[in-house]
Amino acid sequence: MLPTPTKFNLATGASEGISPLNAFDQALLAAGAGNVNLIRVSSILPPNTEFTPQIILPPGALVPVAYGKLTSNVPGTKIAAAVAVGIPKEGFGVIMEYSGYTSKEKAEKIILGMVEEAFSVRKLKMDRYLVKPVEHCVVKIGAVFAGVILWY
C-alpha cells in the first residue's frame, strides 16, 4: 500500500515523436515526469496536501498522477490537455483532467467547469483552484500531457 501523498504539482508537456508512444514519452520528459513509472489515479486530492512548484522525482519511482493525454498523427491538428485542482479551506480537494482537439484556452475553460461541477455534486465549497493547460500543433506525430503529480 502506498502512503498518502503530502505534496502535489501541476505538470504539462508537449512533443513530437516517431510514433505515438515516443511522442507521449517525450511529452512526459518535457513535463518532468519521463523517467518514472506513473500510477494513474482518479480525482481526489488528499487533505492538507501542499502545492509544490517543482517536485524532484527519483528515476524509476512509482508516482501517483491524475492525467489527461492525447496523441495525434494528423499534421496541422491542434491538440490540448489540461489539469485543474479545486481546493477547499479544509478537507479534500478534487482533481480534473481533460484532453481534446482544441486550444489550451478552450481546454482551460472546459476543465474549470468540470472542477466546479465536481465540487457542486459533492456539496463542497471551493476556496481556490489551480489550472495548467498545454497545446500543440501536430507536425507529424504529436502528443500532449497534463498531470497532477502527487508525492511524499
What CATH number is attached to the domain comprising 146?
3.50.20.10
Catalytic residue among 22, 43, 103, 116: 43
In a domain, 147, yes or no: yes
pLDDT (0 to 100) of residue 2: 79
Q: Cβ distance 53 to 130 under 8 Å?
A: no
Task: Please say if 116 is a catalytic residue.
Answer: no
In a domain, 2, yes or no: no
pLDDT above 80: residue 1: no
For residue range 17-49, what is the model confidence (pLDDT) as tens digits? 999 999 999 999 999 999 999 999 999 999 999
In a domain, 65, yes or no: yes
Q: How many helices (H) and strands (E) does the chain have?
A: 2, 9
d(CA 101, CA 37): 27
Which three cell numbers mark 29?
520528459
pLDDT above 80: residue 131: yes
Catalytic residue among 19, 35, 37, 48: 37
DSSP result, 75-114: TT-EEEEEEEEEE-SSS-EEEEEEEESS-HHHHHHHHHHH
pLDDT above 80: residue 140: yes
In a domain, 76, yes or no: yes
Element (H, E) at 141: none
Q: Cβ distance 136 to 81 under 8 Å?
A: no
For residue range 99-130, what is the model confidence (pLDDT) as tens digits? 999 999 999 999 999 999 999 999 999 999 99
Task: Please say if 22 is a catalytic residue.
Answer: no
Dmax over CA atoms of the chain, in Å, equals: 46
Task: Please say if 50 is a catalytic residue.
Answer: no
Task: Please say if 35 is a catalytic residue.
Answer: no
Reported pTM: 0.96
For residue range 55-82, what is the model confidence (pLDDT) as tens digits? 999 999 999 999 999 999 999 999 999 9
Task: Count structural domains, the chain.
Answer: 1
For residue range 85-96, what is the model confidence (pLDDT) as tens digits? 999 999 999 999
Q: Which residues are bridge partners to 117 per DSSP? A: none
Q: Cβ distance 86 to 119 under 8 Å?
A: yes
In a domain, 69, yes or no: yes
Catalytic residue among 9, 15, 72, 97: 97
In a domain, 129, yes or no: yes
Domain of residue 102, residue span: 7-52+60-151
